[in-house]
A and B are shown apart, each in its own frame.
Chain A
Amino acid sequence: MRRLLWPLVILAALLAVNVLFTPGFFSIQVREGHLYGSLIDILRFGAPLILVALGMTLVIATGGIDLSVGSVVAISGALACLQISQDAGVFTAVVLALGLSVALGVWNGFLVANAGIQPIIATLILMVAGRGLAQLITDGQIITVNDPAFKLIGGGYLLTVPFGILLVLAVLAVTAFLTRRLALGMLIEAVGGNAEASRLAGIRARGIIVMVYAFAALCAGVAGLMISSNVSSADGNNAGLWIELDAILAVVIGGTSLAGGRFSLAGTVLGALIIQTLTTTIYSIGVPPETTLLFKALVVTVVCLLQSAAFREKVFKRRARTAGAQEVAA
């Protein structure tokens, strides 16, 4: 619980800044049977990032990393849109897109677990090749589709709530169930915390590693559907560009160590919300466009410093020491 303290503080601070600049920031209304409001927007636009970050959390917990999720986002969206544009039906399109995503994840997992390639390199391969694959699927064009059923995934509403938010909640619930109610979470943490000890304890580390990469790719695939559905088109070049970095950031801000081991799903969700809120904040407080990246980097640096126990200890220790010294001097 204590680990979630700082992310919560930071999120609250960002929200407070927004309220200062946009007085109606917290208001949520129902318009034409749909929920509207800035907070809803943060959740809605943040949904793909939360999904990708959830998958990334499990990968990082095993001591790995997945750089290819952005490409998988593009591939999944591209394949779905291509299928729909060829009148394949939304259901088939979605199943094919997610199936391909999982297959790509299994490939990543295979490279890491069986071929023993460093995760960063293994997934870099797909990160680069995947963009090419996405462009191959779209033939280098932007495919636009117009299908109301497909539109639901990223842009639609169910019972007044944006469908994307519901989807995220569902994935979160399933992930939490698998990892915390079943024993998957502990085994993942064991593999990430001490791989050799896990092997000697009889854990099928390889199977678990393949599984988490497949899961991360599945999450990325769903995110890809959301993104392409929201804009009703697939852009092999730009869909999901840099999302892997935001996802990694979200995981780290959420308190999961890049070294593997303990992970926190709630922390990751908070981390992703922080990043999405930051993006919103940049617009709402009117940071000039040419400085947005710098501004974002600055805030992220501060966030990471606050998250670092070593940094906090140093700052607080120094204070305690100087205070102590003053007492002695007095």
Chain B
Amino acid sequence: MKKERDVVMAVPEPILRMTGIGKQFPGVKALDGVDFRLLPGEVHALMGENGAGKSTLIKVLTGVHPVDTGTIDLDGVPVAFTGPLEAQRAGISTVYQEVNLCTNLSVAENIFIGREPRKRGRIDWKRMRARAAELLARLDLDLDVSAPLEAYSLAVRQMVAIARAVDIEARVLILDEPTSSLDAGEVAQLFKVMRTLKGEGIAILFVSHFLDQIYEIADRMTILRNGRRVGEYLVSELSQVELVGKMIGQELKELERLHGEAKRFDAPLVEARELGRPGAIEPFTLTIHEGEVVGLAGLLGSGRTEVARLLFGADHAGGGEIAVGGTPAALRTPRAAMGHGIAFCSEDRKADGLVPDLTVRENIILALQATRGWTRPVPREQQDALVGKYIKALKISPPHPEHLVRNLSGGNQQKVLLARWLILEPRLLILDEPTRGIDVGAKAEIQRLVVELSDGGMAVLFISAELEEVLRLSHKVGVLRDRRLVAQLPNDEELTTEVLMETIASGGRP
């Protein structure tokens, strides 16, 4: 720790310097005179609320968007990239927030796309697969590299994108929320790789809404608020509380125990008996009561999402049965599940959630409209009221219902998806990584909302890679390992993140 600090103290010449960057989108000033510098051999965190302008700064740097005002210098030389490829050639390797991979191509192809190893002009498939496996091993990932990427979860895709980026010979590595769907284990591996790269003098720009990660890996940070730079600080100089204050412009009310007195649950809402799907999740039995929050914990690929999808009818169950409110129910399609009052907010907002070309309003009312069918449109006044309410409750920014969802920042998109399911007022709300990419302030709001809803009688199935979050919200925690529900633990004083991690590691066996 001390040693790192010394390195930082002797400030070398920055590799990258952005001065007075301004960027205006129709109706939104995304960046306003932002200065930013990146030093060699440092991990520099870019901090800010959802919509503060972090991704936009990265996109204007790498030429995705042209800048309106300001200059960018790389090694003291002014540059203006026309696109990510050009930036990459100049030594800037980027993982964008919305991971852009070709899911129909294999893992190896995705890693080497555009720079395939060649032998006598032809693609050297063997070497490509070997190199890909090697790279993934560095991230402690063991995948079938010739399988199409679509066979893997969002978290794996994120890791593949990272593997691709860290392999490119670069002097600047940019990671925009690379850890948003990763578990502690993958994060640790990623950090190990980042430390190695940093030791080689590579400058790393890192964006994350997980403050603990920032304090673990970053040396320095720049804080943005509403498109303006608040300041640049050494991580060691600024406490978490101060950081949050600077990010959101006010104090964050800390929430510790959200649930008051212990509740008793005696009205089972959804009962799954020996429900399973070969290859995805082994048969499990799970009861969710009215007003109960059931958390699911487990590692990447342990089957959390698969449980959710079966309960929502998104996948066909291979066996077992479900009862809703005591009567057997056939949940063959999402529509059928919705008919029973079940809602599912999926983890991959891009692939399974939003329709990017529709507006915020249309995306929010989509599920409600679907339940009514096309012949009975939701009256416009009702739409406006509902949408307005949730734009306010979730602080969706910019607060314009008619903006296209594709133009929203990642975190705000996530809020739109959440709003879609909240307006349905379901009996069981399944939340798969609902706070993915959401800033600390909004995250607290959402957690508070979950508690409120469950107090009002709604059952919630809550999935998150963040064990603290699961613990804070759940009355009961189901632990998954290797596609099996291995334990169901009541959330009492004895249950801590350590106990949870042990259970995950041991697979529930004492």
Contact = CB atoms under 8 A, between A and B. Distances in A.
Interface of A: 181-184, 186-187, 189-190, 193-194, 196-204, 208, 261-262, 317
Nearest to B312: A200
27 contacts: A182-B377, A183-B372, A183-B374, A183-B376, A186-B358, A186-B366, A187-B374, A189-B357, A190-B355, A196-B352, A197-B353, A197-B355, A198-B355, A200-B314, A200-B344, A201-B334, A201-B366, A201-B370, A201-B420, A202-B370, A203-B370, A204-B335, A204-B373, A208-B374, A261-B355, A262-B357, A317-B66
B334 A199 contact: yes
9 closest A-B pairs by beta carbon, nearest first, are A202-B370, A193-B355, A183-B377, A184-B374, A203-B370, A261-B357, A201-B367, A202-B335, A202-B338
Contacts of B362: 186, 189-190
B337 to A, nearest CB: 8
Given A184-B374, A262-B357, 13 more contacts: A181-B377, A186-B362, A189-B362, A190-B355, A190-B362, A193-B357, A197-B351, A197-B352, A197-B353, A198-B355, A199-B333, A200-B353, A202-B371
Contacts of B356: 193-194
Contacts of B367: 201-202
Given A193-B357, A201-B420, A202-B335, A187 B351 contact: no
A199 B366 CA distance: 11
A54 B200 CA distance: 60
Nearest to B338: A202
Interface size class of B (residues with CB under 8 A): 20 to 34
Contacts of B352: 196-197, 200
A183 B380 CA distance: 11
B375 interface: yes
B354 interface: yes
Nearest to B337: A202
Contacts of A186: 358, 362, 366, 369
Contacts of B312: 200
Interface in B334-392: 334-335, 338, 344, 346, 351-358, 362, 366-367, 369-378
A187 B374 CA distance: 7
A301 B367 CA distance: 40
Interface of A, helix, strand, loop or mixed by DSSP = helix
A260 B122 CA distance: 36
B232 to A, nearest CB: 30
Contacts of B355: 189-190, 193-194, 197-198, 261
A193 B101 CA distance: 18
A181 B380 CA distance: 10
A181 B379 CA distance: 10
A200 B314 CA distance: 7
A193 B358 contact: yes
A222 to B, nearest CB: 22
B304 to A, nearest CB: 17
A262 B359 CA distance: 11
Interface of B: 66, 312, 314, 333-335, 338, 344, 346, 351-358, 362, 366-367, 369-378, 420
A183 B371 CA distance: 12
Of the listed residues A184, A198, A201, A202, the one surrounded by the most CB atoms of chain B closer than 10 A to its CB is A201
Given A199-B334, A200-B344, A182 B357 contact: no
A82 to B, nearest CB: 36
A200 B315 CA distance: 10
Q: Which of A183, A184, A200 has the most CB of B within 10 A?
A: A200
A178 to B, nearest CB: 8
A197 B358 CA distance: 12
A182 B374 contact: yes
A330 to B, nearest CB: 18
A34 B321 CA distance: 70
Nearest to A262: B357
A91 to B, nearest CB: 28
Contacts of A261: 355, 357
A182 to B, nearest CB: 5
A182 B375 contact: yes
Contacts of A199: 314, 333-334
B358 A187 contact: no
A83 B375 CA distance: 35
A262 B358 CA distance: 8
Nearest to A199: B334
Nearest to A184: B374
A195 to B, nearest CB: 10
A202 B342 CA distance: 11
A182 B379 CA distance: 10
B335 to A, nearest CB: 5
A204 B369 CA distance: 11
Contact of A203 (B366, B375, B376, B377): B366
Nearest to B82: A317
A92 to B, nearest CB: 30
Contacts of A183: 369, 372-378
A21 B373 CA distance: 52
A204 B367 CA distance: 11
Nearest to B335: A202
Nearest to B355: A193
A196 B351 contact: yes
Nearest to B371: A202
Contacts of B369: 183, 186-187
A255 to B, nearest CB: 12
B354 A197 contact: yes
